[in-house]
């Protein structure tokens, strides 16, 4: 069965950085486009960054230039580097496929507050 396990979140101050990790199991990771999503309180889950099997990346306009997605196929892990964090980036962050979406993991909480 597919399992996605996110980690790396935490409480940070505005302007600080975090690196999120998502370890996948139960899939042939290298053949899937992967994405990072987030869900803020009271909002719908949204896709903020995606990386193709060839490592082409795309970002939501709100995070472009501040977030960076990468992948390590050997480790079956996708990363999201978050920099210059803002309070509005507070959310639970999840990874999943893009064209193929599996059962959601527990996510990792990112809280940006002074």
* pLDDT value, residue 112: 98
pLDDT of residue 97: 97
pLDDT, average across residues 55-62: 97
User: In whole angstroms, what is the distance from residue 25 CA to residue 46 CA?
Assistant: 23
Q: Which of 58, 54, 18 is nearest to 36 (CA)?
A: 58
Q: Binning pLDDT at 50, 70 and 90, where does residue 78 land?
A: very high
Provide the mean pLDDT of the chain: 97
Helix and strand element counts for the chain (H, E): 0, 10
Model pLDDT, residue 45: 97
Q: Which residue has the tokens 């099997």?
A: 53
pLDDT score for 106: 97
Task: Indicate the pLDDT class of residue 98, thresholds 50, 70 and 90.
Answer: very high
């Amino acid at each position: 069965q597919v399992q996605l396990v996110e980690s790396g979140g935490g409480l940070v101050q505005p302007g600080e950085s975090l690196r999120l990790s998502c370890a996948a199991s139960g899939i042939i990771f290298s053949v899937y486009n992967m994405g990072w999503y987030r869900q803020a309180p009271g909002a719908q889950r949204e896709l903020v960054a995606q990386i193709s099997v060839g490592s082409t990346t795309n970002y939501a306009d709100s995070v472009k230039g501040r977030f960076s997605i990468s992948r390590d196929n050997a480790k079956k892990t996708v990363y999201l580097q978050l920099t210059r964090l803002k309070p509005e980036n507070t959310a639970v962050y999840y990874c999943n496929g893009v064209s193929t979406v599996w059962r959601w993991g527990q996510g990792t909480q990112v809280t940006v507050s002074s």
